[in-house]
Amino acid sequence: MKLSSGPRQPFVGLALLATTGVIFADFSPLSPSTLLAISMVVAICAFLVLRWPSLIATYAIVAAGFFLLHNLRSSNTEGQQLAAQIGNRPRVLTATGFVISEPKIAPNGFATFLLKLDSIELEGRKQRTHASWLVRWRGTPEYGDELKVFGIAEVTAPPRNPGEFNMGSYLARRDVRRTIFVRYPEDGALIQHGAGNPILRAAQKSRAWMQYALCRGLEGSPDVQDFLSGIVLGLRHQTPEDIEEPFQQTGTLHLFAVAGLHVGIVAALLWMLATIARLPRKWATALIIPSILFYAAVTGLHVSSVRAAVMTSILLGGFFFERKVFVLNSLAAAAFFLLCWDTNELFSTGFQLSFSVVGAIILFADPLFRALRRWGAPDPFLPRSLLRGPRHLLQSGFEWLCRGGSVSLAAWLGSLPFVLWYFHIVTPISLLANLVVVPIAFFILAIALLSLLVTPLLLWPALIFNNANCFLAQLVLGIVHVFAQVPGGHFYVERPHWPQNDIAKIMVLDLGAGAAVHLRTQGADWLFDCGSDRTYKRVVREYLHAAGVNRLDGLLLTHGDSLHIGGTAELLHDFRSARLIDNPAPDRSAIHQRLQHLFQQREIKPDNLAAGDSFPLSRDVTGNVLFPRRIVPASTADDQTYVIQLLIPPSTSILFMSDSGLETERALIAYGLDLHSDIVVKGQHHSGQSGTDAFLDAVRPRLIIASSRDFPEYERISDDWAERVRARGIRLFRQDETGAVTLRFDREGWEARSYLTGETFRSSSQ
């Protein structure tokens, strides 16, 4: 069929041109004077198009209009003006404003929320402003509260390691340029309740009541409560990471993002109720549209829920006005209106995933269904009336599987590019997992709706419905955990890059006082330490996913510092087959003793290497243990830490010192070993003393990568030591300035690159 003979879908073209205009504007910001001149030209052209209509001219005006709109919304904003006035250094100030986002309470008690400023007081001067800032305060604010807070306003810290979420960039898209840290609860004060948008305030009050109603009777099952709150009300931030991760690995995490599936199910359930109540079609439509819009507000007005609500409203509006509505045109209309509301939504992950998935389903689900159905289609010359009994049931079941499989496959294909780019994961198992889990999700939402309807009337039926949902939720959790363990069901993929002939690549992550070093050589992946439990979950694991690490060949634990090895138990759960090398030196570390007990429970036998031993990381790369010996009398774990010298062909050597101090350095010199190394990677000893002149004379490094942080003081590199190192002609990468450091080695030499600043040092440098 020719394109010209198809139905008119004007919003498809408008949405595409609007997207084009926004993208060009993001890459080509304009000065205010140029923006004014182009605005006048576009206004004149728009007037001429109204007088003499033309399709091509209309599209050009739309693209130019969104080009200007995005420039207007992203240049010289309130947030940019205020940020320029106060500068980039931390400032102590008092801010007054209104809470405009739902506060998220962290386990440590700090609430994080957006504050729409009314004024700030800085250095005795009060200034009016309407910028929005992010606030962290150990209080209990609510949406719409007017607050007065006293704290430190600072630039949102950029990511310091690969794989970390860039919160600063995310907030800048929303013109949030500063974060206020309010240290003590008494430094914040409530001025008044009840401000803000009354509809959103009512929606959040309704959500709290709904959550209470849905979780009543399930007090003994916190996991089920979190799951139901997430799947029904979109309260994803309350769901623990250990519940979310299997859903991500099976491609079913969309169940926690209220989107087309949820809004469609709610609309279908409301339509069924309207049919049972025998309401006329127009009356049913008039009631359902505001209901689903309010449901989008209840679930937090995320892009996916707003898109689904707008799209569903347009589709249902066709019934009200008795007009035929096309699904693709409705999707494009939803995108167009969202971009009118905020052009920066185009660059959000939720917007891109939401529209790509639904667009792929609209475009590809039916062709895929027809292709799949041919495999088991009955003889076309056989009359359908002869398909009876079991054969009819089998054929109906096969068509249902084909329909569900085609939708699941289309959604997977549509989301794959963005999931790869943002989450570095491929989930083939999702094609099967969604076929099983999504129908159960329909019943969970249906039962939840029934529970909400009967709760104000009778308690005992609501408890029955909630317990039925408890069973279904546990069933879904069990199914998802089973699918997450299927070999090859999911795997992580590194972002595409130009092929590099590296002999080895080493990533020295920046974990403050902790440490984790990833070594990749000839397809083998090793980890020296893994950080604390917190930093492993937040930084190291995310980095390993971004690096495409699906199997860890080895883990070396340098010593019993919890900031170095606290995440080991979690890592061994993620990478079960890793070879383990543990420091045999006796210590009093409680975390080390717990880990050794865990090794015994799981029947893990670590290799206890000591000075003089070596271990291969790959065919060409070998690690030599220089310290400690089998028995080392020492009072602290820092004086018993592993010292490893890595030999990388053709002639490069690296010395990993961990948190070694003066005692270890003296012992290494006394052993008479050849300590000469091109690169030294070191932490800070608990005494703050390491890297003596005698030791540097013995090692003669060209580059030192050293961890450093402001607190506690002994973890910070002293300025005097840094100057002595530089006076020797040694390049110093201190990680409080550089963040993570990448080391690459090839046949011609090596190079070190800072993640935070992009600073590069090469072995060929003089």
What is the DSSP secondary-structure string of 678-732?
A: SEEEE---TTS----HHHHHHH--SEEEE---SSSGGGSPPHHHHHHHHHTT-EE
Dist CA 752 CA 719 (whole Å): 22
Dist CA 40 CA 87 (whole Å): 34
Angle formed at CA 93 by CA 87 and CA 98, multiple of 5 degrees: 105
pLDDT for 208 equals: 84
Pairing, β 491-492 against β 111-122: unpaired
Helical segments of 374-517, H only: 389-423, 430-454, 459-484
The CATH code of domain 78-196 reads 2.40.50
pLDDT for 634 equals: 65
Helical segments of 216-348, H only: 222-233, 241-249, 260-276, 281-298, 303-321, 327-341
| 206 in Cβ contact with 194 (< 8 Å) | no
Q: What pTM was estimated for this model as a whole? A: 0.88
The structure tokens listed for 362 are 């609209």
pLDDT for 316 equals: 76
The parts of the chain modelled with pLDDT lower than 70 are: 1-8, 236-242, 258-261, 318-325, 376-392, 395, 631-635, 765-766
The structure tokens listed for 566 are 């606290």
Dist CA 86 CA 93 (whole Å): 10
Angle formed at CA 407 by CA 404 and CA 411, multiple of 5 degrees: 140
CB-facing half-sphere around the CA of 276: CA atoms within 13 A = 6
- Tell me whether the omega of the peptide bond preceding residue 628 falls within 30 degrees of 0, making it cis: yes
Q: 626's torsion region: left (phi>0), alpha (psi -120 to 50) or beta?
A: alpha
Q: How many residues does the chain have?
A: 766
| 525 in Cβ contact with 549 (< 8 Å) | yes
pLDDT for 544 equals: 96
Dist CA 274 CA 759 (whole Å): 65
Dist CA 319 CA 282 (whole Å): 7
CB atoms within 10 A of CB 47: 10
Query: Is residue 475 classed exposed, middle or buried when 0-12, 13-18 and 19+ CB atoms within 10 A define those classes?
Result: middle
Helical segments of 580-661, H only: 590-601
| 332 in Cβ contact with 307 (< 8 Å) | no
Spatial CB neighbours of 10, under 8 Å, sequence gap ≥ 6: 329
pLDDT for 392 equals: 61
Nearest CA-CA partner of 324 in 311, 314, 335: 314
Q: Which run of H or E residues covers position 181?
A: strand 176-182
| 738 in Cβ contact with 709 (< 8 Å) | no
Say which amino acid occupies 222.
P
The structure tokens listed for 758 are 């992009």
Nearest CA-CA partner of 167 in 261, 104, 222: 104
pLDDT for 2 equals: 42
Pairing, β 731-734 against β 741-746: unpaired
| 263 in Cβ contact with 305 (< 8 Å) | yes
The structure tokens listed for 288 are 């359902």
The structure tokens listed for 229 are 């709150």
CA torsion, ordered 65, 69, 72, 75, to nearest 10 deg: -110
pLDDT for 742 equals: 97
pLDDT for 569 equals: 94
Distance of alpha carbon 740 from the chain centroid? 19
Spatial CB neighbours of 353, under 8 Å, sequence gap ≥ 6: 304, 415, 418, 419
Dist CA 255 CA 189 (whole Å): 37
Q: Which run of H or E residues covers position 431?
A: helix 430-454
Percent of the chain as helix, strand, coil, to the nearest 5: 50, 15, 30
| CA distances in angstroms from 434 to 8, 261, 411, 438, 557, listed in the order given | 34, 12, 10, 5, 40
| CA distances in angstroms from 448 to 235, 263, 384, 462, 568, listed in the order given | 15, 14, 39, 9, 40
Dist CA 443 CA 422 (whole Å): 31
Nearest CA-CA partner of 756 in 166, 328, 331: 166
CB atoms within 10 A of CB 635: 10
| CA distances in angstroms from 108 to 112, 498, 599, 728, listed in the order given | 11, 42, 30, 45
- Tell me whether the omega of the peptide bond preceding residue 7 falls within 30 degrees of 0, making it cis: no
Multiple choice CATH, 501-762, 3.60.15.10, 2.60.40.420, 3.40.50.11540, 1.10.8.100: 3.60.15.10
- Give the 3-state secondary structure of residue 577: coil
Angle formed at CA 79 by CA 73 and CA 84, multiple of 5 degrees: 120
Say which amino acid occupies 651.
S
pLDDT for 278 equals: 82
Beta bridge partners of 114: 134
Spell out where 40-155 has E strands: 91-99, 104-105, 111-122, 125-128, 132-137, 146-154
Dist CA 288 CA 294 (whole Å): 10
| 246 in Cβ contact with 481 (< 8 Å) | yes
Spell out where 529-601 has E strands: 554-557, 579-582
